[in-house]
Amino acid sequence: MRSNTRFRRRYPAIVAVTIAASALLFASVAPVQAVEDVSPNVDPDELVRLYDHPMGSQIRLHEGTAEMPKDPPPMVDASVPGIDVSGWQGNVNWAAQWNAGKRFVWAKATEGTGYRNPYFAQQYNGSYNQGFIRGAYHFALPDRSTGAAQADFFSNNGGGWSGDGRTLPGALDMEYNPYGATCYGKTKASMTQWILDFSNRYKARWGKYPAIYTSTSWWSQCVSGDFSSTNPLWVARYSSAVGTLPCCWGFYTVWQYSSSPIDQNTFNGAIDRLQALARTPD
Can you list the alpha helix ranges (DSSP code H) found in 132-224?
147-156, 188-206, 216-222
Active site residue 173: yes
Contact in structure between 87 and 48 (CB atoms under 8 Å): yes
Q: How many residues does the chain have?
A: 282
Q: State the catalytic residue, choosing from 84, 111, 152, 263.
A: 84
| Torsions phi, psi for 221 (to 5 deg) | -80, -30
Q: How far apart are CA 172 and CA 253, in angstroms?
A: 14
Q: Tell me the C-alpha to C-alpha distance, in Å, between residue 20 and each of 10, 66, 112, 130, 138.
A: 17, 18, 16, 31, 17
What phi-psi label fits residue 129: left (phi over 0), alpha (psi between -120 and 50 degrees) or beta?
alpha
Catalytic residue among 45, 52, 63, 173: 173
Short-list 148, 197, 198, 142, CA closest to 169: 198
Helices (H), the chain: 5-10, 12-27, 44-51, 57-63, 94-99, 120-130, 147-156, 188-206, 216-222, 271-277
Considering the candidates 52, 63, 111, 175, report the single residue annotated as catalytic: 175
Q: Are 84 and 270 in contact (CB under 8 A)?
A: no
3-state secondary structure of 114: coil
User: Which positions are catalytic?
Assistant: 84, 173, 175
